[in-house]
Amino acid sequence: MLSYRHGFHAGNFADVLKHALLALTIQALKQKDKPFLYIDTHAGAGKYRLDSEYARKTGECADGVVKLWRQAEPPPELRDYLAAVRAENVGGELLRYPGSPQLARRLLRAQDRLWLSELHNTDFAALRELFAGDKQVTVSMEDGLERLEKKLPPPQKRGLVLIDPSYEMRSEYRQVLQAVVAAHRRFATGVYAVWYPVLERAALEKWLREWAATGIERQLRIEHCVAPDGAGRGMTGSGMLFINPPWRLDEQAKVLLPWLNHVLADGRGEWLVHWQVPESAGAEFE
């Protein structure tokens, strides 16, 4: 039984980090003309209204995208992300927010493809409607983690996989790790981006050590906490674990995160850009 609905959280501080890094990754993949496949294993509804009953109930976007919207001089690292948000809000008022599928759709080229999975029937219906008739997009109501391995390697031999679960159940942490290990065995040169919340520090660090112990190279961790760690305080931060991140994503994140920390947390949060497993000498990636 799925109770999580992303509509309650759209545009919050965690979405900002995830989507800004996603936009930078897509920008980097577009440096080569060769087509690539974007896989979103937990796609959600595709896009969201920030004035919906859901969004107003939590008001989470007020501490996220709303703060960015007012900034006169955002860093160039946010260019594509903010352009996609602006494209949803043609009247100039911030009322809509692109989820990862809509953000990716706006940034991908004619030669690229999107495969989106969503299990919740209401969000799946919205997603299917959003991309109805779009030949570049395949929308499936399925377990995106379970199906991932079977989709790889992609026909294009280039791919970006976003794994963005709600972690409603503790078992999801292990399932995500196992799914990526299996996927990486079939498609070792793919770019994998795994979102995670910062809820309980000790459990999170243990999980990240398990990733580091998989033997998979090139693991880059990017994390932003808007509040100090603390049990029972809810989500105090979020991060993305990348496998095979594009060249210079680490450098871009080192510009982006201090700026986000200043704007989203009045400079009082903590950020981290850390290669938890570097590449071994001589490795080459697409």
Catalogue the active-site residues. Answer: 164
Phi–psi pair at 183, nearest 5 degrees: -65, -40
Closest distance to ligand SAM from the beta carbon of 206 (Å)? 22
User: Of 55, 118, 196, 239, which one interacts with ligand SAM (CB under 6 A)?
Assistant: 118
Residue from 140, 241, 139 nearest 197 by CA: 241
By C-beta, is 3 or 31 nearer to ligand SAM? 3
Strands (E), the chain: 37-40, 47-49, 96-98, 113-117, 137-140, 159-163, 191-198, 219-225, 237-243, 270-277
**Binding residues for ligand SAM, total number by CB under 6 A:** 22
Phi–psi pair at 204, nearest 5 degrees: -65, -45
What the block records as the tokens of 133 is 């008739």
Confirm or reject binding of residue 164 to ligand SAM (CB under 6 A): yes
Confirm or reject binding of residue 119 to ligand SAM (CB under 6 A): yes
Tell me the C-alpha distance between 165 and 143, whole Å: 11
Cβ atoms within 10 Å of 94's Cβ, excluding its own: 19
By C-beta, is 170 or 284 nearer to ligand SAM? 170
x-marked contacts with ligand SAM along 93-112 as a string, rule CB under 6 A: ------xx------------
User: Of 145, 176, 222, 240, which one interacts with ligand SAM (CB under 6 A)?
Assistant: 145
Footprint on residues 15-44 left by ligand SAM (CB under 6 A): 18, 40-44
Tell me the C-alpha distance between 199 and 69, whole Å: 27
Confirm or reject binding of residue 184 to ligand SAM (CB under 6 A): no
Query: Alpha-carbon Rg of the chain, whole angstroms?
Result: 18
User: Of 63, 143, 270, 286, which one interacts with ligand SAM (CB under 6 A)?
Assistant: 143
Q: Which residue is nearest to ligand SAM (CB)?
A: 99
Confirm or reject binding of residue 11 to ligand SAM (CB under 6 A): no
Residue from 169, 164, 227, 168 nearest 198 by CA: 227
Residues lying near ligand SAM in the complex (CB under 6 A) are found at: 2, 4, 6, 18, 40-44, 99-100, 117-120, 123, 143-145, 164-166
